[in-house]
């Protein structure tokens, strides 16, 4: 016990890393939006969603190194789009894989083991710098954290064709960023792919790590449906 | 097996009830809205949220008998507000109890056992008539149904201080209406109050009934935060 307390204390006073990375994952082909253009490229207040997202991380105090994961088919499109919008932030571009798991795994190869790394959905442009900073801080202290909110609705789980209610207070809706000591996440991504890997926290959990929660915001929602762009514009006001 | 099929068939061709009720539950005191006025009275496109909600049920094909449950403290306020807005739909007014459970229990005393009854949050004004109609229809066939949507986010459950991921495809975010054969729900509400009763489906489930799901809509969200009024106005366009 005294050892644990001492170790915790030293983590607080001596953060393990000042090296920060953010992996921005831009996946989907946009079929749910009924739009020809994938969601991350749609204009939000005149600027592509993806640029809002990259800018949010760049504006956070740690000013992380940015890695953008994008399906190869969209690289040329993005090059033109970012030039049109005079996007000039430094970042590294990585090819997306056939799954989100493979995309993040590709990006992690560029992240040093002694860094802190945040993985974030490109289509969550309304992430606040405060939450980004808190997520890095808690990842440094605790190893593996997800930004999450409590559900406003009751929750039911389908089991064997019936539904059963779950205790709402025990349930978190998990957003991104999901933030980790990079060594931990890189090691976890060496485990083979598993269909239960819906996000990075589930990969880290499968490797035996406890996942902690940082309070998120309902505003940090995923642009999914056509009306979401108008909602995001309203929330930006 | 042949008996089950026959019984199902007869339920389809002979719906058990043509008597429809809707209990609209207006509870909260509005502290989370940072507004003096509880959420159900806030103006949405110039009309109180509660009037939108009552109107939506009245406009559905079964044109249910409306029961409004409102804390006694707000009865006078509501009388003035509804007069100001020339609200003229027929409805019965019932005193709210100290819990949602008690409020619904009070209202159920006015509902005949051979009716179908929908229980709906006053602060979900964007419910569509299509979903209301489908909920009544399925309640007639299946006894107990909730309107629900799949989560867009990953889900974690807090257990013994740790979090664990749940399979997203198994999880439903439960909205209202929650719709029942009235005899079933009235009987379930005779069971004593239990802290796990977060909604009507959990009361019916505790009494041993299977809860079925009717696909809802993300638009049918609960007005909770100040910005939700503006979002609802945008979705009404």
Shortest distance, CA A154 to any CA of chain B (angstroms): 5
Q: Is B201 close to A230, i.e. CB distance below 8 A?
A: no
User: CA B180 to CA B173: how far, in whole Å?
Assistant: 18
CB of B120 closer than 8 Å to CB of B23:
yes
Shortest distance, CA A115 to any CA of chain B (angstroms): 24
Residues from chain B contacting residue A168 (CB–CB below 8 Å) = 198
The angle that helices A2-13 and A129-142 make with each other, rounded to 10 degrees, is 140
Cross-strand partners of A212 = A145
pLDDT tens digits in sequence order for chain A, 237 residues long: 334 433 444 444 445 568 999 999 997 554 444 456 889 999 999 999 999 999 999 999 999 999 999 999 999 999 999 999 999 999 999 999 988 999 999 999 999 999 999 999 999 999 999 999 999 999 999 999 999 999 889 999 988 778 899 988 899 999 999 999 999 999 999 998 988 888 999 999 999 999 999 999 999 999 998 899 999 999 998
Locate the chain B residue with the closest alpha carbon to A231. Answer: B231
User: ipTM value of the model?
Assistant: 0.83
Give tens-digit pLDDT for A128-169: 999 999 999 999 999 999 999 998 899 999 887 788 999 888
Q: Where are the beta strands (DSSP E) in chain B?
A: 20-25, 43-44, 47-48, 65-70, 92-95, 116-121, 144-150, 154-159, 162-166, 171-181, 212-215
Q: Following CA atoms B51, B53, B55, B57 in sequence, which dihedral angle do they give, to the nearest 10 degrees?
A: -150
Q: Of A162, A165, A206, which is closest to residue A184 (Cα–Cα)?
A: A206
Q: Following CA atoms A64, A70, A72, A77 in sequence, which dihedral angle do they give, to the nearest 10 degrees?
A: -100
Taking CA atoms, B100 is separated from A34, B120, B135, B197, B211, in Å, by 40, 11, 21, 9, 19
Phi, psi of A178 (to 5 degrees): -110, 125
Q: Of A57, A58, A86, A53, which is closest to residue A70 (Cα–Cα)?
A: A53
Q: Is the pTM of this model over 0.95?
A: no
Give me the residue from A151, A163, A172 closest to B211, CB to CB: A163
Residues from chain A contacting residue B174 (CB–CB below 8 Å) = 153-156, 165
CB of B36 closer than 8 Å to CB of B77:
no
The angle that helices B227-236 and A227-236 make with each other, rounded to 10 degrees, is 150
Q: Following CA atoms B92, B98, B103, B109 in sequence, which dihedral angle do they give, to the nearest 10 degrees?
A: -80
CB of A163 closer than 8 Å to CB of B172:
yes
Query: Does the CB of B225 have a partner CB in chain A at under 8 Å?
Result: yes
The secondary structure of residue B91, as a DSSP letter, is: -
DSSP for B181-214, written as a single string: EHHHHHHHTTSPP-TT--SHHHHHHHTT---EEE
Give me the residue from B155, B165, B172 closest to A163, CB to CB: B172
User: CA B115 to CA B19: how far, in whole Å?
Assistant: 5
Substitution target from B142, B145, B147, B153 for chain A, most A beta carbons within 10 A: B153
User: CA A98 to CA B155: how far, in whole Å?
Assistant: 23
CB of B125 closer than 8 Å to CB of B52:
yes
Q: Of B72, B67, B50, which is closest to residue B185 (Cα–Cα)?
A: B67
Taking CA atoms, B190 is separated from A76, A163, A197, in Å, by 65, 22, 43
Angle at A163 between CA B5 and CA A200, to 5 degrees: 135
Q: What percent of chain B is predicted at pLDDT more than 90?
A: 76
User: CA B25 to CA B104: how far, in whole Å?
Assistant: 7
Q: Is B154 close to A231, i.e. CB distance below 8 A?
A: no
B162 pLDDT band, cuts 50/70/90, is confident
Substitution target from B149, B163, B200 for chain A, most A beta carbons within 10 A: B163
Give me the residue from B213, B231, B234 closest to A163, CB to CB: B213
Q: Is A155 close to B174, i.e. CB distance below 8 A?
A: yes
Give tens-digit pLDDT for B27-72: 755 444 445 688 999 999 999 999 999 999 999 999 999 999 999 9
């Amino acid at each position: 016990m005294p050892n644990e307390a001492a170790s915790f204390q030293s983590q607080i006073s001596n953060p393990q890393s000042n090296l920060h990375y953010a992996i921005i994952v831009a996946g989907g082909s946009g079929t749910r939006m009924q739009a020809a253009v994938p969601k991350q490229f749609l204009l939000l207040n005149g600027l592509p969603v993806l640029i809002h997202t990259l800018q949010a991380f760049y504006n956070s105090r740690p000013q992380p190194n940015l890695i953008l994961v994008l399906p190869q088919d969209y690289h040329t499109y993005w090059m033109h789009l970012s030039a049109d919008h005079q996007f000039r932030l430094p970042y590294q571009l990585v090819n997306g894989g056939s799954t989100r798991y493979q995309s993040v795994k590709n990006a992690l190869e560029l992240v040093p083991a002694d860094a802190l790394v945040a993985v974030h959905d490109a289509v969550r442009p309304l992430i606040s710098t405060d939450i980004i900073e808190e997520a890095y801080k808690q990842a440094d202290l605790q190893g593996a954290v997800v930004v999450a909110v409590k559900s406003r609705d009751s929750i039911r789980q389908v089991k064997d064709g019936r539904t059963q209610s779950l205790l709402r207070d025990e349930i978190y809706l998990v957003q991104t960023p999901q933030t980790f000591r990079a060594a931990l996440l890189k090691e976890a991504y060496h485990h083979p792919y598993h269909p239960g890997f819906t996000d990075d926290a589930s990969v880290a959990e499968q490797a035996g790590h406890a996942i902690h929660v940082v309070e998120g915001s309902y505003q940090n929602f995923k642009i999914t449906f056509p009306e979401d762009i108008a909602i995001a514009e309203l929330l930006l006001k």
